[in-house]
Amino acid sequence: MPVGLLNIEPGDAIFGRTLTGRETGEDDILQALVLASGQLVEFGDGRELVGNFRASRDGMLGPSNARGRERPSMNAETGQLEGGTAFERSGNAHPVQNSRAYTIGLSYEKPTQILAPAVGNKSSPRLPLNSGLRMRQNVMKSSMGLAMHGCEWLPQEYRDRMEEQAELVNAPNLGIDRNPCFFTAQVNLSPAVSAADGSKVKSLLGKRQLAHDVIILIGDAFPIGQKLRLKRPKHLPRPSQSRK
């Protein structure tokens, strides 16, 4: 159901609920927590984590003079891929449903009904990592490290429940040693387009793009539309304390 643009601000929380979910909020699932950029770097090693993430992003995009707006194409004379991004030219970028969406974490295998590394992510321990796998490794470590750092802003009870669930289902730690919250990851690429050409972005994200059967709510859904202003968790130091 199209709802247009949604204005979100630091401190907002976004929840999702299936169309058959109860309106009491019991079936709501936290989808995103909106933080200001300063909240990530004001304590711990946040500044270093942000720097690592930007470096891994730039490595996946590759040199600016070798990038292209569209998917890489084969140069008939040289036999080499040109354009796109360095990751897409690496040989380890296998898109989902002919899109520019690339799973770099785990994927669900229907024949075996198990979660396993997505195609393009597998390697032998006897072989050195190629450029594509190194890019994936760097992005996975930096993104998961930064995401878990941001989770420090979640209320303690949220983090406790996530850790219990991860232990219950024996979820693997993805990217970093302590990661009970994020079990897969995907890289989505799209060139900048005008508002009138928004359909192009949808095509690049594949058939599923925005067709998820959920209702997006802002805040804690009591009532719908109410904003949740997060208080600083007690375990986080004040900005002045973290700089000492």
Residue 214 pLDDT level (bands cut at 50, 70, 90): very low
State pTM to two decimals.
0.74
The residue assigned the tokens 């393009």 is 120
Of the CA atoms within 13 Å of residue 171, those in its CB half-sphere come to: 23
Q: What is the pLDDT, as a whole number, of residue 154?
A: 83
Q: What is the pLDDT, as a whole number, of residue 44?
A: 83
Q: What is the pLDDT, as a whole number, of residue 243?
A: 42
Residue 57 pLDDT level (bands cut at 50, 70, 90): very high
| Cβ neighbours of residue 240 closer than 8 Å, sequence gap 6 or more | none
Mean pLDDT of 123-148: 89
Q: What is the pLDDT, as a whole number, of residue 55?
A: 94
Give the integer Cα–Cα distance in Å for 108 and 170: 15
Give the integer Cα–Cα distance in Å for 127 and 124: 5
Residue with the larger pLDDT of the pair 165 and 223 = 165
Give the integer Cα–Cα distance in Å for 150 and 33: 9
CA distances from residue 206 to 100, 179, 189, 203 in whole angstroms, order as listed: 7, 28, 11, 5
Q: Quote the mean pLDDT of the chain.
A: 78
Q: What is the pLDDT, as a whole number, of residue 213?
A: 37
Residue with the larger pLDDT of the pair 168 and 29 = 168
In the predicted structure, residue 48 carries a pLDDT above the cut 70: yes
**pLDDT tens figures, 78-130:** 989 999 999 999 988 888 888 888 988 888 777 888 878 888 887 777 878 88
Q: What is the pLDDT, as a whole number, of residue 59?
A: 94
In the predicted structure, residue 54 carries a pLDDT above the cut 70: yes
Residue 237 pLDDT level (bands cut at 50, 70, 90): low
In the predicted structure, residue 15 carries a pLDDT above the cut 70: yes
Residue 218 pLDDT level (bands cut at 50, 70, 90): very low
| Cβ neighbours of residue 75 closer than 8 Å, sequence gap 6 or more | 81, 82
Residue with the larger pLDDT of the pair 92 and 233 = 92
